[in-house]
Amino acid sequence: MLGTLEVVTTVAVGLMVGVEFSVAFVMNPIFNALPEDSHQLARSHGGRMLGAVMPFWYIGSLVLVGIWAVAGWRHHGTGLVVTAAALLIVSVIMSILLLVPINNRGKTWTPENRPADWKQQMKRWDRFHYVRVAVIIVAFALLVAALT
């Protein structure tokens, strides 16, 4: 049973890392190359779409890692799992305090109502997102290491 939990958790966190990595290094660079109105509309749509899904994914991943840490408390690699959980907590706190406020503003923007500094706000979101991606990559790597 613990083995199944470990695999399901690692896959869930790995997929989340993949999506967030793709946003940072594939989707947003594509959006940034679009004409201004299309760029902003794509970012707003992405913010609405992923903003609806990612909270469940982040919290769900954290819950799974927490269950793994408790269920495997006396097993090899528990320290790595607990550290991964701590990093996922950091990513959730970063999201709530830094990324979500910008995303909540950005997902309502249209070419007609966006603020003059919308690009600067998106660049700020990107910088925070790069840090969050690094944090969850390390958490994922720790989970993979705990499997061995």
Average pLDDT over residues 75-86: 95
Report the share of the chain in percent with pLDDT over 70: 100
78, with CB counted inside 10 A (0-12, 13-18, 19+), is: middle
Q: Report how far residue 80's alpha carbon sits from residue 128's, in angstroms, rounded to the nearest whole number.
A: 24
Judged against a pLDDT cut of 90, whether residue 2 lies above it is answered with no
Mean model confidence pLDDT for the chain: 96
Could you report the per-residue pLDDT of 7-41, keeping only the tens digit for each?
A: 999 999 999 999 999 999 999 999 999 998 999 99
Instruction: Pull the structure tokens for residue 148.
Output: 């061995």
Report the share of the chain in percent with pLDDT over 90: 93
* Entry pTM: 0.94
pLDDT class for 56, splitting at 50, 70, 90?
Answer: very high
Q: Report how far residue 115's alpha carbon sits from residue 120's, in angstroms, rounded to the nearest whole number.
A: 10
